[in-house]
Amino acid sequence: MDVVKRKPYFKIMFFILIVLNLYVEVNTLSYSSTQVKPMVTLEEKIWIAGDGDVSHYRIPLLTYTPQKNLLAMAEARKYDTSDAGSKFLAIRRSNDKGYSWKPQQFIENDGSIFDGISLGSVVVDDELGNIFIVFSRCNHYEKCNISSLYYVKSEDDGYTWNKPVNMSVQIGTKAFAAGPGYGIQLKNSKYKGRLLVCGHGTLEGDGMFCLISDDHGNKWRYGGMLKSIPYNKPKVSGDFIPDECQPLEMPDGTVIVNIRNQGKYHCHCRIIAKSADGGDTFLLDDVYFDENLIDPTVAAGALIQNGVMFFSNPMSTTHRVNMTLHWSHDFGKTWNYTLNIWPNPSGYSTMTAIPGLEDSVYILYEKGIVATYESLSFVKISLYP
pLDDT tens across 284-335, in order? 999 999 999 999 999 999 999 999 999 999 999 999 999 999 999 999 999 9
Is 365 a known active-site residue?
no
Rounded mean pLDDT, 186-214: 95
Judge whether residue 12 has pLDDT over 60: no
Of the given ranges (29-43, 118-132, 242-256), which has the lowest mean pLDDT? 29-43
Exactly one of 115, 243, 249, 366 is catalytic; name it: 366
Per-residue pLDDT band for 353 (boundaries 50, 70, 90) equals: very high
Judge whether residue 227 has pLDDT over 50: yes
CA geometry: angle 49, 54, 58, nearest 5 deg: 55
Rounded mean pLDDT, 352-375: 97
- What pLDDT was estimated at residue 101? 98
- Averaged pLDDT score across all residues of the chain: 92
Give Rg (Cα) of the chain. Answer: 22
- What pLDDT was estimated at residue 9? 46
Rounded mean pLDDT, 139-145: 88
Per-residue pLDDT band for 32 (boundaries 50, 70, 90) equals: low
Rounded mean pLDDT, 183-211: 95
Is 25 a known active-site residue?
no
84 or 24, which is more confident = 84
Sign (positive or negative) of CA dihedral 366, 367, 373, 377: negative
Exactly one of 348, 362, 365, 373 is catalytic; name it: 348
Judge whether residue 11 has pLDDT over 50: no
- What pLDDT was estimated at residue 142? 87
- What pLDDT was estimated at residue 233? 94
Tens of pLDDT, residue by residue over 229-252, are: 999 999 999 999 999 999 999 999
Per-residue pLDDT band for 30 (boundaries 50, 70, 90) equals: very low
Give rounded-to-5 percent helix, strand, coil for the chain. Answer: 10, 45, 45
Q: Decide if 317 contacts 296 (C-beta within 8 A).
A: yes
203 or 81, which is more confident = 81
Judge whether residue 61 has pLDDT over 70: yes
- What pLDDT was estimated at residue 224? 98
Q: How far is CA 348 from the centre of its chain?
A: 11
Range 131-135 contact pairs with CB under 8 angstroms and sequence separation of 24 or more: 131/63, 131/65, 131/66, 131/71, 131/157, 131/158, 132/183, 132/195, 132/217, 133/61, 133/73, 133/89, 133/107, 133/161, 134/167, 134/178, 134/179, 134/183, 134/197, 134/211, 135/89, 135/108, 135/178
227 or 204, which is more confident = 227
Tell me how far apart the alpha carbons of residues 217 and 197 are, in angstroms, rounded to a whole number.
11
Judge whether residue 5 has pLDDT over 80: no
Judge whether residue 143 has pLDDT over 90: no
Of the given ranges (41-45, 49-53, 100-104, 265-269), which has the lowest mean pLDDT? 49-53
Rounded mean pLDDT, 263-286: 98
Q: Decide if 142 contacts 114 (C-beta within 8 A).
A: yes
Exactly one of 43, 44, 83, 157 is catalytic; name it: 83
3-state secondary structure of 373: helix
- What pLDDT was estimated at residue 35? 84
- What pLDDT was estimated at residue 33? 57
Is 366 a known active-site residue?
yes
Q: Decide if 133 contacts 150 (C-beta within 8 A).
A: no
- What pLDDT was estimated at residue 15? 44
